[in-house]
Amino acid sequence: MRVLTARLAAGLAAGCLLAASAAGADWPSFRGNPQLTGTTTDTLPDAPKLLWTADAPDGVAATAAIVGDRVYTAGLSGTLHCRDIKTGEPIWTYQTEEVGKFRPGFLSSPAVADGRVYLGDEDGYLHAVDAATGKPLWTFETGAEIISSPTPTTIPGENGEALPVVLFGSYDAKLYCLSAEDGQLRWELETQGRVHCTPAVMPGPDGAARTFIAGCDEHLRGAEIADGSVTLDVEIGTYLIASPAAVDGTVYFGTYAGDVLAVDASSETVPGADVPEAEAVVWRAEPDGQFEYKSSAAATADRVFVTGGDKVAKALDRKTGQQVWEFLLRAASESSPVVTGVGTGNERVWFGGGDRTLHCLNAADGTEVWSQNLRKGIVASPAVGGPDGATVLVIGTEGPNGQWFCFGG
């Protein structure tokens, strides 16, 4: 039974705290915004041109970040590059420290906020780097590797000012909240399994911001960002690594059992108490066969888009979970889809796959608009943005001898 508790309103209005779910121009983090919707109002040509490539010797699993005229790319070689968006040439380079003969790689995607770049490495360190110069600012050590991409946001300070923090998970089974300025721990939330996903952020019913993670312990959890207190704990019943997309008090994600779920995340529960699945799940789209969702969903006002191990890209009705269309692929896809042109009437869905192909589909009916073979498998997700309307798409491919590709007009 769901038990409501009273909480004092704490903090900034949602509009001050969160980026718009379909913000244009920049793509500062894994899914483009703190809600992890994977959407943008920016548009790309239906047949974009290849503008530049850059080598990624050990391959790429991370999504690039785009802020202004710079692109931040991180790969499995343990190297973070800040590149010129027009040419792909490095402006600065940051590397993890060698451990024996190897450098810990980056599976975590960079997130850029307040002049800092954040990302985690395979040895369990979260790095903060100066976005202008590439100089190291601080590191924070966890107990295991970090695949979760950071989510920068803010919490209210004592005098009402916005204090920047960064959220991320670790394979040590914890969700962390750090001070963005100095990397000091504000709080940690221990789960019962590895935290693979990126934390989503959205306002709760009292206006205070909350974060949500889908965990490898088969639970969806919510917590107050101000202090880490638990607001939601739903047992899903299957392994979860995809990041949740948050829209209008509901989160959407695929599971390792091949389901896609919509879960009501707007209500509170007694901290630590489980919510019966039947009370929390708005809808469940059941799988046709056995496969996994490793990619994260994209969510617009009316649809949820997913790509999975069933070699299918799908659009589901966001209110009901009913399938709207499907597009058959030649291989499984772990690349999280991105929707461009949101609200323009010209929405497109972009993603890569094990078929080595970058796809562009018409979001209305699932027909293929364009595709390009990139010669290597693609597990990374697209980043879409750029200054002064010069929108580009940046995506990396797997190694060995992977590459970064930049497409645009």
Give me the domain span that covers residue 287: 16-408
pLDDT band at 159 (very low <50, low <70, confident <90, very high): confident
- For residue 303, tell me if it sits in a domain: yes
How many whole angstroms from its chain centre is CA 408?
22
- For residue 119, tell me if it sits in a domain: yes
Q: Give the pLDDT confidence of 286-345 residue by residue, as tens digits.
A: 999 999 999 999 999 999 999 999 999 999 999 999 999 999 999 999 999 999 999 999
Question: How many other C-beta atoms lie within 10 A of the C-beta of residue 205?
Answer: 14
Q: Dump strand ranges (E) for 236-311.
A: 245-247, 250-254, 260-264, 281-285, 298-299, 303-307
Mean pLDDT of 147-176: 94
Degrees to nearest 5, angle at CA 332 with 327 and 335: 85
Tell me which of 303 and 208 has the higher pLDDT.
303
In three-state secondary structure terms, 15 is helix
Question: With contact defined as beta carbons under 8 Å apart, do 253 and 246 qualify?
Answer: no
- For residue 332, tell me if it sits in a domain: yes
- What amino acid occupies position 214? A
Least confident window among 34-38, 223-227, 234-238? 234-238
- What amino acid occupies position 260? V
- For residue 7, tell me if it sits in a domain: no
Overall domain count for the chain: 1
Q: Give the pLDDT confidence of 169-190 residue by residue, as tens digits.
A: 999 999 999 999 999 999 999 9
Question: With contact defined as beta carbons under 8 Å apart, do 403 and 45 qualify?
Answer: no
Nearest to 408 by CA among 45, 3, 20: 45
Q: Tell me the chain's radius of gyration from C-alpha atoms.
A: 19
Residue 276 scores a pLDDT above 90: no
Q: Which two tokens stand for residue 299?
A: 């969510």
pTM score, two decimals?
Answer: 0.92
In three-state secondary structure terms, 66 is strand
- What amino acid occupies position 193? G
How far apart are alpha carbons 349 and 329 in whole angstroms?
14
- For residue 392, tell me if it sits in a domain: yes
How far apart are alpha carbons 272 and 151 in whole angstroms?
23
In sequence order, the 6+-apart residues with CB closer than 8 A to the CB of 15 are none
CA quadruple 49, 51, 57, 60: dihedral, nearest 10: -60
pLDDT band at 271 (very low <50, low <70, confident <90, very high): very low
How far apart are alpha carbons 146 and 93 in whole angstroms?
20
Mean pLDDT of 215-235: 92
The domain that holds 352 is classified in CATH as: 2.140.10.10
Please provide residue 376's backbone torsions phi and psi, each rounded to the nearest 5 degrees: -140, 155
**Residue 278 parent element (H or E):** helix 277-280
Mean pLDDT of 86-107: 94
Question: With contact defined as beta carbons under 8 Å apart, do 106 and 120 qualify?
Answer: yes
Question: With contact defined as beta carbons under 8 Å apart, do 170 and 144 qualify?
Answer: yes
